[in-house]
Every structure is written in structure tokens, then in C-alpha cells.
Structure 1
């Protein structure tokens, strides 16, 4: 269950960062509220995961899901342009997240 909480927390990290972009510098109230609610929910599920999982595993995986997910959202929905070499580093982030999970012992 803790892993599910952690994955959900990471997904909510992607959600709130997307809503922050949509809020246009917190000038659009509805997106601003979604952003803040997403932050609260993300921290809530992270805190649930950290009750069981080590912080040294939970936090980097949470931020990694948020980072990679936000990159993908930016490219797909906001048409952000990334240099080909940047994709190499995105891949390395994924390898790092998976490596932390696999070698973390939980």
C-alpha cells in the first residue's frame, strides 16, 4: 500500500505542477486552487508512504516521478522543445528512479 501511496503522490506532483503552469503565475483562480489542492494531496500521500518506506527511497522516487512526468507533460501538452541530448538525461533520471527502487530493499 505504501508504494501505491508513493506513486499516487508522484502523480499528484505532476498534476500540481501542470496546474501551476495553467494558473499563469497564480492569476487564474481555478487553476491556482487546483495547484494548491494538488500540493496538499501530494504531500499527504508522500507522508503516508514515508510512514512505511524509508525517506531515502521515498523522497527521490517522488521527486523523480514528478520531474519525469512534468517533462513529458511539458513536451506533449505545452509543446516544450528539448534537445536530443536532454532526452538522454531524462532516460538517466528514469534509470536512477528504477535503480533506487530495485536496490532499496523494499
Structure 2
């Protein structure tokens, strides 16, 4: 369940990042309110995930999902520039996130004194 919470928290980070843009410095009421709700929900889920996932791994995955998702949505839906370099770097970022997920079981075992 912890990984589910972490992925949803990262997706909420994408949502509130865009909310910050559309709140126009918290001058628009509805986008500002939705952004604050998104931030609170995102950090709530992030904190639940950290009960089982080491903080370094959890934070890297949380921010990685947010960063990669925000870049991709910007390129595909908001007309932001999509260069080969940007795409390659997002792939590298996502590869790192997957790698952290795959090695997180080893960290738990080491924390418990296992081999």
C-alpha cells in the first residue's frame, strides 16, 4: 500500500504544480483553494508512504514523479517545447525512479539486519 500512496502523492504533486500556475500567485480563489487541497492531500499520502519506505527513496520517487509528470504534461498538453534532450532526461529520471523502487526491498532487508 505504501507504494500506491507514494505514486498517488506524486500525481497530486503534478496537479498542485499546475494549480500554482493557474492560481496566479494565489490571487484566483478557486485555483488557489484547489492547489492548497492538492498540496495537503499530496503530503498526507507522502507521509503515509514514508511509514514503510525509507525517506531517501520516498522523497526521490515523490519529487521524480512530480517533475517528470509536470514536464510531460507541459510538453503534450500545454505546448511547451519538446526537445530530444528533454525527452532523454525524463527517461533517465523515470529509469532512476524505477531503479529506486526495485532496490527498495534490499534497503528494508538491510534495515532489519538481513543479508
TM-score, normalising length: structure 2: 0.86
Larger radius of gyration: 2
In structure 1, the gaps of 5 or more residues are none
TM-score, normalising length: structure 1: 0.93
Kindly provide the CA deviation profile for residues 42-88 of structure 1, in whole angstroms up to 9, marking residues without a partner as x: 00000000011111211100001101111111112221113221111
Are the counterparts in 2 of residues 6 and 49 from structure 1 also a CA contact under 8 Å?
yes
Ranges of 4+ aligned residues in structure 1 off by more than 6 Å: none
Are the counterparts in 1 of residues 53 and 104 from structure 2 also a CA contact under 8 Å?
no
RMSD: 1.2
Are the counterparts in 1 of residues 13 and 39 from structure 2 also a CA contact under 8 Å?
yes
Q: Report the equivalent of 1:48.
A: 48
In structure 2, the gaps of 5 or more residues are 109-115
Distance 1:41 1:96 in 2: 25
